[in-house]
Amino acid sequence: MGVKLLLDKANVPGIRTYEVYRREGGYRAVEKALKEMTTDAIVEEVKKSGLRGRGGAGFPTGMKWSFIAKPEGVPRHLVCNADESEPGTFKDRYLMEFLPHLLIEGLIVSSYALGSNETYIYIRGEYAWITDILEEAIEEAKAAGWLGKNILGTGFDCNIHVQRGGGAYICGEETALIESLEGKRGNPRIKPPFPAIQGLWMRPTVVNNVETLAAVVPIINMGGEEYAKIGVGKSTGTKLISACGNINKPGVYEIDMTITVEEFIYSDEYCGGIKDGKKLKACIPGGSSVPILPANLLLTTAKGEPRYMNYESLSDGGFATGSMLGSGGFIVLDEDQCIVKNTYTLARFYRHESCGQCSPCREGTGWMEKILQKIETGKGEMSDIDLLWDIQRKIEGNTICPLGDAASWPVAAAIRHFRDEFEWHVKNPELSQTSNFGLQHYADPIHVPA
């Protein structure tokens, strides 16, 4: 069993309630931080921990915190990003649903460190029942004196509010989230100014992912240096992975980032192997935006070394032969899955979620969806594959926010690694409607453990 820092208590009966959470040692991090540490010391501890943002971009959290502007007399805000809408990602939901007090505890410590007296959780609107769970936990924490005025007699005031979104993936992007929190459409802002200078209501703001803020609790409890000893290289601590697709045991797993991808997929502690004894065809290891990899490049790098479940190893080889850890949304495809169809559904998703501000993203995502649908339904031409490649290349890097890139990468990677499957669709318009390309080119290039 690997180290568990976040989900170690997830199975304790009643852990959702304040009473049990406290009895199990909860809120010690708040006591320690507020009574024994200065705000600078907390930021320093988080820096030492090496914690990287768990929302997808992996930016060092301590460094992000140290950027927050502190103009005299202007309130600052911490905003927790619980929008979780990247296909394949459902880890924050698990954490909030089963360990709401862990998030609240992390939020109190982080709010104190950043000087946020009014802290907001922006949660995707569909997670309505989790909103209720969080609000209940907040009330419990308030009644026990961990929130409200003059917490623990330190003079620090803090309230936490939960706001539901309205159903829009783009509101996960931090400036779109801020716009939405202001009661507007989720149109990302042009940066600079960055939120750390002018964010919510033009006040200095830090936006962090749910898992990032929960990880602050073990960091304070054990110390940044100890936290950094877990994991490897710049992938310190533990990471939540939400695993889905054609595996035996879909679910949310906490891993320390030293295990191989092979172990994660095939061991019974995690995914438990491919469903129905089928073969692994491909995988999108870090949420729908990151490049899809064929089985051989997923399990080993281009150099033939084992690939590990961490930031560095998953991106080894760049986009040519690697991918990204991203949000930890691990999507597994077996031999019966069609890469063209899968890519089409993702392109449809990005077209649907484009906010429409930039023409390359607004128009390009629509064109990609149409061309992919054409190929998928057996009406494609060879030139369509090159056209797709060309469109994705023209979106990437030419937009206000990274959604443009997020829409391009899955299409680019699918063509890069599975071009023959796209060509097969074009050459076999009828056959492709009733059968799949399967593993024709990818059968057993790998060692599949018994």
Side chain identity at residue 400, one-letter code: I
Q: How many CB atoms lie within 10 A of CB 300?
A: 20
Residues in the interface with another protein (CB under 8 A) total: 56
Regarding 310 and contact with ligand FMN (CB under 6 A), the answer is no
The Cα 290–Cα 251 span in angstroms is 19
Regarding 163 and contact with another protein (CB under 8 A), the answer is yes
Between 29 and 400, CB nearer to ligand SF4: 400
The Cα 334–Cα 436 span in angstroms is 11
Between 172 and 380, CB nearer to ligand FMN: 172
Q: Cβ neighbours of residue 183 under 8 Å, at least 6 residues apart?
A: none
Q: Which of 34, 68, 77, 83 binds ligand FMN (CB under 6 A)?
A: 83
Sole window of 67-75, 317-325, 398-406, 428-436 interacting with ligand SF4 (rule: CB under 6 A): 398-406
Sign of the Cα torsion 82, 129, 215, 197 reads positive
Regarding 328 and contact with ligand FMN (CB under 6 A), the answer is no
Sole window of 40-48, 172-180, 359-367, 385-393 interacting with ligand FMN (rule: CB under 6 A): 172-180
Residues of this chain, 187-206, that bind ligand SF4 according to CB under 6 A: 188
Sole window of 55-63, 356-364, 384-392, 432-440 interacting with ligand FMN (rule: CB under 6 A): 55-63
Regarding 212 and contact with ligand FMN (CB under 6 A), the answer is yes
- Compute the least distance from the CB of residue 242 to another protein, in Å: 6
The Cα 332–Cα 283 span in angstroms is 5
Regarding 185 and contact with ligand SF4 (CB under 6 A), the answer is no
DSSP type of residue 187? P
Q: Cβ neighbours of residue 159 under 8 Å, at least 6 residues apart?
A: 117, 118, 119, 147, 148
**238 within 8 A of 231, measured Cβ to Cβ:** yes
Regarding 379 and contact with another protein (CB under 8 A), the answer is no
Regarding 204 and contact with another protein (CB under 8 A), the answer is no
Between 237 and 404, CB nearer to ligand SF4: 404
The Cα 282–Cα 340 span in angstroms is 12
**For helices 39-49 and 210-222, what crossing angle results, to 10°?**
100
Regarding 403 and contact with ligand SF4 (CB under 6 A), the answer is yes
- Compute the least distance from the CB of residue 332 to another protein, in Å: 8
Q: How many CB atoms lie within 10 A of CB 53?
A: 19
Q: Which does 126 bind (CB under 5 to 8 A by kind): ligand SF4, another protein, ligand FMN, none?
A: another protein
- Compute the least distance from the CB of residue 235 to ligand FMN, in Å: 14
The Cα 158–Cα 371 span in angstroms is 51
Q: Which of 111, 209, 399, 436 binds ligand SF4 (CB under 6 A)?
A: 399
Q: Which of 49, 61, 81, 85 binds another protein (CB under 8 A)?
A: 85
The Cα 254–Cα 241 span in angstroms is 6
Reading the block at residue 205, the tokens are: 């703001």
The dihedral region occupied by 88, where left means phi > 0, alpha psi between -120 and 50, and beta the remainder, is: left
What does the CA dihedral 160, 98, 90, 299 come to, rounded to 10 degrees? 130
**274 within 8 A of 247, measured Cβ to Cβ:** yes
Site residues (vs another protein, CB under 8 A): 75, 84-90, 93, 118, 124-129, 161, 163-169, 180-186, 201, 242-246, 250-252, 284, 288, 329, 331, 333-334, 337, 341-342, 345-346, 348-349, 352-353, 355
Interface positions with ligand FMN (CB under 6 A): 53-57, 59, 61, 81, 83-86, 170, 172-174, 207-209, 212, 401-403, 406
> What are the residues binding ligand SF4 (CB under 6 A)?
170, 188, 354-358, 361-362, 399-401, 403-404
